[in-house]
Amino acid sequence: MFGLGKSHTNSLRMDAPQPTSLLDIGAQNVIGKPLDRYEGPLKVSGRALYSAEYVFPDMAYGVLVGARRGAGRVVSIDAEAVTSLPGVIDVVTDFKTFIRNPGQGGETEAPTQGVEEIVYFGQVIAIVLAESYEAARDAAIRLPVEYEEAAGRFDFAAHKHETDVPPENNTPAHFGQGDLDQAMAEAAFTVDASFTTPSQNSAAMEPHASVAMWDEDRLTLYGSYQIPTKDAMQLADALGVGKDQVRIVSHFVGGGFGSKLGIAPETTAAAIAAKRLGRPVKAVMLRQQVFDATVRRSNTEQRIRLAADAHGRLIGIGHETLTSNLPGEDYFEPAGIGTHFLYPGEHRLITHDQVRLNLVLSGSMRAPGEAVGMLALETAMDMLAEQMAIDPVELRRRNEPLLDPEKNVPYSSRSLRECLDLGAQTFGWDARETRPAQRREGEWLIGMGMAAAARSNLLQSEEAKVRIEPSGRAVIETAMTDIGTGTYSVLSQIAGELLGLDPRSVDVRLGDSDMPASGGSGGSWGACGSGSAVYLACEELRRQLAKTLGVEPGAMTLKDGLAIAQNKSMPLAELVGDGIEAMGAISPGKQKDAVTQASYGAHFAEVAVNAVTGEVRVRRMLGVFAAGRILNEKTARSQCLGGMTFGIGAALTEELLHDGRTGKLVNRDLAEYHIPVNADVPQLEVLFVAERDQHSNPLHAKGLGELGISGAGAAITNAIYNACGVRVRDYPLTLDKILPGLPDL
Amino acid sequence: MKLFDYQRADTPEQAAASAVAPGTRFIAGGTNLLDLMKLQVETPERLVDVSRLELAKIETREDGGVTIGAMVPNSDLAADPHVIRNYPVLSRALLAGATGQLRNKATTGGNLLQRTRCYYFYDVATPCNKREPGSGCSAIGGVNRILAILGTSDQCIATHPSDMAVAMRALDATIVTVKADGDRRRIPMAEFHRLPGDRPHIDTILEQGELITHVELPSPPPGGRHAYRKVRDRASYAFALVSVAAVIEVEDGRIAKAALAFGGLAHKPWRDPEVEHILIGQTPGKALFEAAADALVRDARGFGHNDFKIPLARRTLIATLQDLTGGR
């Protein structure tokens, strides 16, 4: 950590548009370039340390114990039955302090605590400590626990008529405008269709893991988390200590997808055990526990109503949703969030009602809202196009609103039409048969489908510190994380562009709550937010350099480690003396409401459906996206490929299966929770449409990480219908649901 | 993982003798057993490591058949030129199973002894008659989409997960073993795996300590056409919902021989003599195939989520027969 206090802070609140961006006048020419991953060599050589890989002298190994009841109470835990086993140290629990439900993203207070009461099967109730991981796991499985069982609410279908209205959360639970029923009655064309999507798990490759160690009264926790700044606050509040007494370090995160936004039960278990034992404690969740006791994306039941005039222009749109969560939890899956701004229509009804279930916490998973909402909305749009006998691309083109249909404000930037047109042309969309089940190759029925992509653009408050060292190298520090997204790379490129440095001359230090505060990785805001903070710090450093040179910043060019002004050039190393540093800080402002901000795109898919078995194989997909300035074409493309792959899983295979009698999750490993494997992912192509957004941030970029999943699955669903004429509205579209609609052999 | 003793065997006879005590398990590739031990679904007191035994050869006998050592990795067996040429159904079944990495480790003997993939068997927090006799079957009335529709009992509806074993069943393989007392025996594939009945915890007829040393394939069926068709939820790394191993020979426009075995339907690789009887001697055609498929599922029983397997098995069989005979 370098010197605090002497750096000037360059702050910007996004109250006004930023018509110019220094990234357009930088001379280094690295922004947007498809550079290899900054930390790639560390990862492929095993030198990037993930949380579970930290080892400290005298460290004890902890394995969590999950409740074997779906509802009830822990009566007693027979620790003595296992502490006599070789290598076992102790069984630790704290009925009051242990986390019961993981934290939600962005919260700064403790999540729900208290584990004596059991509210879902697999809820963490204790941790077993041993001298080895194997001994701890053995004892954790064998630990005798006495329960008092209570009746639980495990079955969504049985309870779906008992709902409550959750509090507002990014989007209001209920929104109405005009009279949708009337619009439906008067419309030339209507669609009224219901859909279901199952609960899902992020299934990140790296399990949740915490290594906790206390130094006097200060805790350092090496944990796999997306938002160290706020997660440290959650943990401090949970443990009842001061904010400055907890430090979370997350230098590398092996995938999060929302499941690591807030702290999970292994954090408090490791921290409390480490305190009791006076030793460092490592607690890594078993793969099954990641499924049982972290976070799921809620299942949904969605009703879509579309009312269109004779030309296919929407005059009304309805999106009524049911989701589920634990009793007392505020979060709801905002399945209708994209519907607010994607299409026009004066008459609107978008609702979210919650069913209370005793199943593991539901929270954010990649593109909360859009990912599942667009599976329904974009399938309904396909149904409308079919009913009107017009091309689905054309239907979307006819429904491009000039203003946000609810807020009546302009869009900050919106290139959906460009994405649709480029996509249709590149994909060869005109070869699509307009009627279903027309193209057959042997046993395989071939079809094409498309869907729009949209994902809200968000901004968090972010800080970053940038220093130019006496050597001329730059150093960036922020508590922002890189969860595989490319943060290290894009921040080095932004600083490189603005300071005239090869990005390899920029050291990026991330993922430490002791560093400048960050909103972390989540909601696709990471690159724009932390990138803007780095931008602002660099802008201040440019001013300082210009001042030293005695010129205006605009009269100075920074390139290849040199400052060039008035026909003279000087190495940065000579200019900065003992080094200079600056802090950048960005925060959301009036632009949040003055314009509607979102990223857009278009998905195209070609699938093959086996006419005998109903098996679906995706043959190719194209995603065309516009998300403002692209900061690194390679990592951006990878984000989109990953999102589209998620879309394949959402459409075809992913589903958490709960036993309706006990609430027990039964498919809780990667053999039985089916995410797409390589053989399921065909040729995927990604194209970007050039765009700048001056309302979003000084980078002129928008969020991208969740855009690729939004709508992707619906393109596949629509392609399946085009291939075989079977329209399944209950996700995932496994073969058993397609089979009944297939023709006789 | 519970602590266990570990011992390495030098000869098959020694391995068998070492494993006579209850609670002893053989370990070779470990691709299934180790997972089960970590979860404490299996808690052996002792492991006898047979992976170094000299049983990793594939030998062609004078009668043209092959003898496969129990330690032959699945990958090697699938890639063996003689197997590819004369027993393509076996090669294809092997390649349809698991992943490249697992096939490199998994052995021929171990593959036959895989345990079921029933969700509840894998989870010690739930009752399961196969894991804990008498505790009850959670799958009946629970989540059972992947489970059996044939040969089930009211105590267990698990399926056998192997693809290789299904092909071996169609090929009338023989399992060669050595028992703890040194005796050898030859077990027809038909008798090797059990149906669950009221003792679902017992998968095969092997005795404690009995070690598989070889699998013998009879001389290859001349002129037969082979197919292994696996229907699954994703393109790779998923167990069969339904699979069909088929060897069909057509002579003078009539089906001369038919060997049909099925995976994903039962506690063992399923083969029904009546299905084959219906086909043999007949002219290939849709009505005939439908009659055979009807016979296959005549006694099938679904448990809710897995009801779809009945029409799926039917359609898969018909399509496979159409494919192999050209009969429409």
**pLDDT tens-digit series, residues A75-86:** 999 999 999 999
Residue A56's beta-bridge partner residues?
A: none
Query: Cβ contact (<8 Å) for B319 and A739?
Result: no
* pLDDT of A3 strictly over 90: no
Report yes or no: B141 at the A interface, CB cutoff 8 Å.
yes
Q: What is the rounded CA–CA span in Å between residue B100 and residue A190?
A: 50
Domain boundaries, chain B: 5-47, 226-325
Q: Which residues pair with A467 in a beta bridge?
A: A475, A581
pLDDT at residue A602 in the model: 98
Q: CB–CB of A666 and B39 under 8 A?
A: no
Asked if the Cβ–Cβ distance from A734 to B233 is below 8 Å, we say yes
pLDDT value, residue B2: 83
Phi, psi at A609, each rounded to 5°: -115, 125
The answer to whether B153 contacts chain A (CB < 8 Å) is no
Question: How confident is the model at residue B222, as a pLDDT?
Answer: 81
Over residues A157-200, the pLDDT tens digits come to: 999 999 999 998 878 999 999 999 999 999 999 999 999 999 99
Number of Cβ pairs closer than 8 Å across A and B? 97
Residue among A66, A661, A674 whose CB faces B238 most closely: A674
Q: Is B46 left (phi over 0), alpha (psi -120 to 50) or beta?
A: beta
**Residue B139 with chain A: CB contacts under 8 Å:** none
Q: Which residues of chain A are in CATH 3.30.365.10 domains?
A: 8-25+459-591, 51-151+206-292, 366-457+597-741
Is the pLDDT at B214 greater than 60, yes or no?
Answer: yes
What does the pLDDT read at residue A2? 46
pLDDT at B328: 86
The answer to whether A657 contacts B312, with C-beta atoms less than 8 Å apart, is no
**CB of A740 within 8 A of CB of A629?**
no
Q: List CB contacts (< 8 A) between B308 and chain A.
A: 735-736, 739
Residue A691 has pLDDT above 50, yes or no: yes
Report pLDDT for A68. 98
Asked if B234 lies within 8 A of A676 by C-beta distance, the reply is yes
Domain A8-25+459-591: give its CATH code. Answer: 3.30.365.10
pLDDT tens profile A560-616: 999 999 989 999 999 999 999 999 999 999 999 999 999 999 999 999 999 999 999
Band of pLDDT at residue B232, cut at 50, 70 and 90: very high
Give pLDDT tens digits for A136-152.
Answer: 999 999 999 999 999 99
Average pLDDT over residues A304-331: 98
Q: Does A679 touch chain B (CB under 8 A)?
A: yes
Residue of A nearest to B236 (CA): A679
CA B66 – CA B216 distance, rounded (Å):
6
A657 has a chain B CB within 8 A of its CB: yes
Q: Which residues of B touch A668 (CB under 8 A)?
A: 123
At B121-140, the pLDDT tens digits run 999 999 999 999 999 999 99
Residues of B in contact with A669 (CB under 8 A): 122
CB A252 within 8 A of CB A39: yes
Q: Can you tell me the ipTM of this complex? A: 0.97
How does residue A6 score in pLDDT terms, banded at 50, 70 and 90? Answer: low
How much is the average pLDDT of B91-116?
97
Chain B CB contacts of A615 below 8 Å: 231-232
- Put simply, the answer to whether A662 touches B308 (Cβ < 8 Å) is no
Please give the CATH architecture assigned to the domain spanning A51-151+206-292: 2-Layer Sandwich (3.30)
Interface test with B, best of A666, A669, A670, A742 (most B CBs within 10 A): A666
Best of A654, A674, A736, A742 to disrupt the B interface (most B CBs within 10 Å) is A736
- Does A170 or B171 have the greater pLDDT score? B171
With a cut of 70, say whether residue A508 has pLDDT above it.
Answer: yes
What letters, b where the CB count within 10 A reaches 16 and e where it falls short, cover A299-334? bbbbbbbbbbbeebbbbbbbbbbbbbbbeebebbbb
Please give the distance of CA A364 from its chain centroid, rounded to a whole number: 7
Identify the CA nearest to A18 among candidates A533, A626, A697, A595.
Answer: A697
Q: What is the pLDDT of residue B122?
A: 96
A134-A135-A141 Cα angle (round to 5): 90
**Has residue A5 got a pLDDT over 50?**
no
Task: Judge contact between A322 and A199, C-beta under 8 A.
Answer: no
CA distance B271 to chain A (A): 21
Q: Is B111 an interface residue toward A (CB < 8 Å)?
A: no
CATH architecture of A366-457+597-741: 2-Layer Sandwich (3.30)
Note whether A745 contacts B117, CB cutoff 8 Å: no
Residue among A709, A672, A72, A663 at smallest CA distance from A324: A663
Active site residues of A: 706
Q: Is A619 on the interface with B (CB under 8 A)?
A: no
Q: Which of B141, B286, B315 sits opposite A612 (nearest CB)?
A: B315
At B189, which helix (H) or strand (E)? helix B189-192
Verify whether the Cβ–Cβ distance A664 to B234 is below 8 Å: no
d(CA B39, CA A110): 32
Cα(A294)–Cα(A276) distance, rounded to whole angstroms?
24
Distance CA B155, CA B199 (A): 8
The predicted pLDDT at position B306 comes to: 98
Closest to A217 (Cα-Cα) out of A263, A170, A271, A255? A271
d(Cα B250, Cα B206) in Å, to the nearest integer? 37
Work out the burial of residue A630: count CB atoms within 10 Å of its CB; fewer than 13 is exposed, 13-18 middle, 19 or more buried: buried
Stated length of chain A: 745
- Note the pLDDT of residue A39: 96
State percent of chain B over pLDDT 70: 100
Of B233, B286, B319, the CB nearest to A674: B233
A613 and B322 within 8 Å at the Cβ level: the answer is no
Please answer yes or no on whether A661 and B141 come within 8 Å at the CB atom: yes
CATH superfamily of B226-325: CO dehydrogenase flavoprotein, C-terminal domain (3.30.390.50)
A84 and chain B in contact, CB less than 8 A: no
**Distance of alpha carbon A667 from its chain centroid, rounded?**
23
